[in-house]
Amino acid sequence: MSTAERQDPSSRFDTGRLTAISDGIFAVALTLLILDVKPPDVAASRLGGALLATAPRLGIFALSFAVVAYYWVVHHLMFVYLRTADRGLLWGNLLFLFTIVVLPFSAAVLGRYPLAAPALVLYGLNLACCSAALWLSWWHAARQGFLATLHPAQGRYIVLRFALSSTLAILGVALAAALPLASLALFLAVPVLHALTSRPVPRRNRIAR
């Protein structure tokens, strides 16, 4: 941070509004995911088969809901450490939210073509961009000294989290043409591995609210 920014209080921002707009956009993105899953419009005698036909879209909806929920949790945990923000972090956070808003579109394409390589590539690149944009915000906040003091091991753990989610997404993209089911499994692994292996934030590193 420059000397001018340190001396000018208007260059620093409270994180409350960042959290508010982020939570609102996450809520909208989670809601939009279901809009691509239409109820069958067929005769009652054909309803069973029609419901089975919607299974791929319901599966992609469930996957995407878990993915967006994962990014919301990680974003929330990031803001536990955040003490203040600047214009760079505001724009970085908006870039991340842009990648989240695109996810319902990527999910809709994948729901229609669940094993098509272009759809899998689009979805995987979207996930990789989400992780990269969130890591960029974290890196900027750490570089500017906006984060609470972290134990080195905790800092490495967080960086590894970002690297793992990006790597899984890129591997899914690489396998999209040859092994589409494996590609989908790698995308699913992003939220599942986080849920199974996440650690609690140490109390001494939490920020008093």
What is the tens place of the pLDDT at every residue in 158-191? 888 888 999 999 999 999 999 999 999 999 999 9
Name beta bridge partners: 147: 82
Does pLDDT of 147 surpass 60? yes
Name beta bridge partners: 82: 147
Find, among 126, 148, 9, 145, the residue nearest to 63 by Cα. Answer: 126
pTM assigned to the model: 0.85
